[in-house]
Each structure stands twice: as C-alpha cells, then as structure tokens.
Amino acid sequence: MPSCRFFLIAFVPVLFIYFIVPPPRPKRPLCPQRKPTYVPGESLILGISLSASYGTISMRNANGFFTDIGRIDGDGDYVAMMRRFSSISSSHPAPPYDGMEEQWDDQPRQWLRDARKMLFLPASSDVRRLSGLARSLVHLARSQAAPHASIASVVISYPALPGVFAEDIIDTARYLSLPQLSGGHGYPPRTLISSYAGHGMGLCASYYNASRCREEGLDHPVRSTLLVDYTSSTILMHAESMREAYGTANSDIDVSTWFLSPTSERINSDADELVRRKLLSEMVVELLNRKWERFRGPPEPLEDITVLLTGNPDDIDVDQARKRMEEAVDKAGFKAQMYHSNPEFIASQGAAEMAWRALTLHI
C-alpha cells in the first residue's frame, strides 16, 4: 500500500506541469507546406463561401475575372448545425487563445481532435458536415473545369457565428486536402470579410509583396461595415469596423441571427413575408445601436455604414431587401452605403481573390 507521502511526492510533478510548463504550443501541420503546383490557365484558384443554409464557389482566372461556378444548398443536418452554432451556448474556447487558462481548458478537446485527425477522420462531427458541403462544391468546380485540373489555392469563408471557429474551417480544408496557403489574408475570412474583398474593398495594390501590402493597408479608410446575409429561411448579420480585408478569428463578434423554425413550412405567404421584412428592419436597428450607438454623438459623429448584402436573388427580392435595409439604417440614425451587386457570389469571389493573392506569394 503506497504511503500518503508517496502520493504527495507523486503529485508534485502534476502541479509542476500545471503551473510551470506552458501548455502545448499551437501545432504546425505535420508535413511542411510544399510549393503549390501552379500551371497558368490550368490550375484552379477557388473561393468557397459557406453560409447558414447554402454554399457557393467561384474561380479566380489568371486575367483577373471570376467565374461563378455554382451554389449548393445545405441539407437539413447542415442547417441544424448552423442553427446550433448561432446559439451563444455553443461557444467554447478555441485557438487563438486569450490566455493560458483558456488553452488548458481546451486541451482535452484538442487532443481528441488530434487523435481523430491522426486516423484520417474529420477533426469533429461538425467538421464532417462542413466538409460534406465543401466537397460537393469542389466536385462541382472540378466537373465544370478540366476534369484533371489541379487545385492551386483555396480560401474558405464562413459565417460569423458563436459556435464555428477558424480551426473548423482550417481542418475542413485539411481533411479535403485542399491547398490553403498562408497569405496576407490572415485566418480564413468570415463572410463579412470575403464580401468586403469581393466588392474590392480593403485590398492592397501590391499584393505580391507582403510587407508593402501591409504598409498600404494602413492607408485604407476605416469603414463601419454591416453584412446582411438574407435568405427566406435564415438571416445572418455581422457588424465590424473594417480596414484591410483580413481574417482575425477573434471570438468577440457582434452578430444577430434568425433561423426559420424547423417545424414551420418555408415562408411564402404575403403575411409571412411582411413579418420577415419587419424582422429584418428590427434586427438592423438593434445591431447598429448595439455596435455603434456610442459613436453617434460628438466629437466626430459616425455617419456612414457600409452595408453588404449577400443571398440568393431567386430566393429574395434584392431590390426590396435593399430598400428595407436603407430605411432601417436610416431609422437607426446612420446613412447606408449599399453594396448589393451579385449577392449570391460576392463572398466566394472575395475568397477566390484572397486565394489568388496568397498564391502569388508562393510562386
């Protein structure tokens, strides 16, 4: 029978590890990043946007134009996952951590993810669902391009929700063996950032030189930006002060979300449409007040809000939605600068542009 002293002594290393040894460092990929294979005119440069209920994919051509390849709706399982992600209770510590305590708390979950990845499984069941839609989108792109075309660079953008993290998106791309290159865009971008880039905002001219690009970025104007991703069954809003189109993975996000209750039919009656429009307006006013109320007064009152609209024009009346949002921003005491062109693909185009820019730093 081991003595009490034995246990005390045996416990010392445990204490030592907890208080003295820092938690394991964030992992680098097992295999170092290889130089991407890029054959001009043949390799695919892809941008994927995953949203609350659908995903879209665009391709960036060498001549600077984009090809919008297609859109795939998520299945019930996917939408249910996004609904779960939208709840605050689905939030948990995830890298990048705020402190050592947080990292220790998260370590068991990371070990489990690592174990799954070592067995060539998706890092979590959520990553499996995200990968499902992303894989279908990549298949779609492959089927439209040359069948054996290699993929040179991919950026996946994802919705700003409390329960989905940059690590999930990184692991999704890794599980599908998609080349995600480190570039000037930071972490995988959220939809607001990819749409912002899709409209040509926050992008430097000398993107082939990382340090000059960063210098240039400091001269971009700061824009108070509101993203509204609007479909007949989901509304996602995200507000952020933007300068460069740069993904940060911070967990402190200002969002507002609405999901059609799973039991109700898809909305199509006029009465329901009216309810939804009212809801849209209320959500805009509430979120803008929450985010920028205190900037309304002196010394320099905030006036303009850059509003980015995404969604599917077959599903919503874009002109109506635009008017509705202009009114709502006005009601909140600001002035809207609307960006609503190509609402379906603007986020995947922005992601594709980021994928291209990352590639130029590697070739």
- Residues interacting with ligand NAG, by CB under 6 A? 209, 211-212
Q: CA-to-CA distance for 120 and 135, rounded, in angstroms?
A: 16
Count of CB atoms within 10 A of residue 316's CB? 19
DSSP secondary structure string for all residues of 11-70? HHHHHHHHHTSPPPPPPPPSSPPPPPP--TTTSEEEEEEE-SSEEEEEEE-TTS-EEEEE
Of residues 11 and 208, the one with the C-beta less far from ligand NAG? 208
Of residues 121 and 361, the one with the C-beta less far from ligand NAG? 361
User: What residues have CB less than 8 Å from 336, skipping those under 6 apart?
Assistant: 304, 305, 307, 325, 326, 329, 330
CB of 244 to ligand NAG, least distance (A): 16
CB of 146 to ligand NAG, least distance (A): 33
Closest CA to 185 of 177, 174, 176, 196: 196
CB of 182 to ligand NAG, least distance (A): 17
CB of 209 to ligand NAG, least distance (A): 4
Q: CA-to-CA distance for 192 and 194, rounded, in angstroms?
A: 6
Of residues 215 and 304, the one with the C-beta less far from ligand NAG? 215
Q: What angle, rounded to 10 degrees, do the helices at 318-331 and 270-292 form?
A: 40
Of residues 212 and 335, the one with the C-beta less far from ligand NAG? 212
CB of 361 to ligand NAG, least distance (A): 11
Q: CA-to-CA distance for 169 and 180, rounded, in angstroms?
A: 10
Closest CA to 172 of 301, 81, 80, 295: 81
CA torsion, ordered 270, 54, 51, 218, to nearest 10 deg: -110
Of residues 124 and 209, the one with the C-beta less far from ligand NAG? 209
Closest CA to 159 of 80, 237, 245: 237
CB of 206 to ligand NAG, least distance (A): 7
CB of 214 to ligand NAG, least distance (A): 9
Of residues 212 and 323, the one with the C-beta less far from ligand NAG? 212
Contact 352/155 with Cβ under 8 angstroms?
A: yes
Of residues 214 and 223, the one with the C-beta less far from ligand NAG? 214
